[in-house]
Copies of this chain bind each other. A is one copy, B any other.
Amino acid sequence: MDRYLVISSDGHAGLPPERYRDYVDSRYHAAFDERVKIEVRQRLEFEKHFLIHDFNTKWRAKAGEGLDGAWDGTIRDRVLDRDGVAAEVLFPDGVTERNAPPFGADIGLRPSAANAELQWVGARAHNRWMAEFCRDNPLRRIGLAIVPALYDIEETLKEIRWARDNGLKGVFFPALTDGFAMYNDRKYYPVWELLQDLDMPLHFHSGAAPAFDITQPGWIGTYLCEYAFWLTRPLWSLTFGGVFELYPKLKVAFTEAGGEFWFPWIIELMDVRASAKHTSGKLGDYRTNMTMKPSEYFARHVWIGCSALPDNETTESYYKIGIDRILWGTDYPHPEGTWPNTHEKMMESLGGLPEADIGKMLGGNALSVYDVDARALNALAAKIGPLKAPFVKRAA
């Protein structure tokens, strides 16, 4: 084949909030209407402090109807065709554009005991819409179910089964656990078992962090310094909790993590912390849950959804993390993603690397993570995928 198969590990899809009403049980309609109104207002306020208004206005003007691909399948397929992307993993949205249900059932998936019931309402509304959206084009849409997994294990198990039965191909869990049990807790064992049995990969996605005071100087810099930490806390709690020892086929993806240097550091950190260091002798034996090194579990269980940052350091880090673990992504329809210049940015980022490595990162690895029709995807890629030839020469 003279073209690459591209499966983007990082796509965002969802309805504008008010349109989730049809997917919400009518007894929640009053709460829904009220919350949508409040959240839209909060969002406009937030954008003043957070997202640069100018930047976003320009971006929206340029992006045009492509942004509506968040919920319009026809537009989305057209964008993907032009971008050379055969299929996508679909997360909810909730940052740049507000294409997500209310009630915190969005890419932040912030835990809250008081909000638990309604967050489930929002999550189920999204999952029902997402299942429909994927049914319209099951080959190209790898839908994830939003699962607010921290509150009730039975409800979590039920939603995972529902998701599997309805064509969704993985789950998206909250990275922040706040006051709730962290992922080393035994209470989650049935969840890991079910995900393993159903071959449903578990996903965490960057975005959430504790609430900062957005009227104070430097809070964005603070956020940028620590968002990768908040995303990856589940990694070491799962690893040291022995979850990968107990569930040797569990698959976990961490997406849009500033992976370019964060993950090589964290893999090293875990290995050092798991080694018998003088300093930790007094703390007790924390290695009884593991028969392998953290980096070895990583290489068996973990994939990194890398939303392309086109620079040399990034690709060096891909090799440190392990080429087999990298799932390239476009982050469509976000402005920091590669769309609508995916070809060009791919080449900037990956041009000159060995063809086999590029093939794995762009799509080959994803075939081993997701339950997809590889033959049909390859046939599609043979028509729309990026040509391999121009990748031989490195742009820089």
Contacts and interface: CB of A to CB of B under 8 A. Distances in A.
Interface of A: 49-52, 55-56, 59, 96, 181-182, 184-186, 212-213, 216-226, 229, 233, 236-237, 239-242, 258, 261-262, 265-266, 268-270, 272-274, 277-289, 309-310, 335-336
Given A218-B237, A221-B241, 12 more contacts: A52-B281, A56-B282, A216-B241, A221-B274, A221-B289, A222-B233, A226-B233, A261-B265, A261-B269, A278-B336, A281-B335, A281-B336
A134 B345 CA distance: 62
Given A282-B56, A285-B52, A336-B281, A225 B236 contact: yes
Nearest to A211: B179
Nearest to A225: B236
B52 A224 contact: no
Contacts of A222: 182, 184, 233, 236-237, 240-241
A385 to B, nearest CB: 24
Nearest to A345: B278
A56 B219 CA distance: 42
A57 to B, nearest CB: 11
Given A236-B225, A287-B221, A59 B282 contact: yes
Contacts of A55: 281-282
A290 to B, nearest CB: 8
Name, among A59, A217, A237, A261, the residue most crowded by chain B CB atoms within 10 Å (CB to CB). Answer: A217
B279 A309 contact: yes
A186 B216 contact: yes
Contacts of A287: 221
B50 A284 contact: yes
A286 to B, nearest CB: 4
Given A216-B185, A218-B237, A273 B336 contact: no
A299 B286 CA distance: 36
B216 A289 contact: no
Contacts of A229: 226, 229
B335 A186 contact: no
Nearest to A242: B217
Nearest to A224: B273
Contacts of A261: 265, 268-269, 272
Contacts of A270: 221, 225
Nearest to A220: B286
CB-based closest 6 A-B pairs: A221-B240, A218-B241, A218-B240, A220-B286, A184-B218, A225-B236
A345 to B, nearest CB: 9
Given A240-B225, A282-B336, A336-B282, A217 B289 contact: yes
B182 A213 contact: yes
B239 A51 contact: no
B233 A218 contact: no
Contacts of A184: 216-219, 222
A336 to B, nearest CB: 4
Nearest to A284: B52
Nearest to A187: B216
Contact of A51 (B49, B52, B217, B284): B284
Nearest to A268: B261
A266 to B, nearest CB: 8
Contact of A217 (B96, B236, B241): B241
Contacts of A279: 258, 309, 336
Contacts of A240: 217-222, 225
A223 B240 CA distance: 10
B51 A283 contact: yes
Contacts of A59: 282
Contacts of A50: 283-284
A233 B233 CA distance: 15
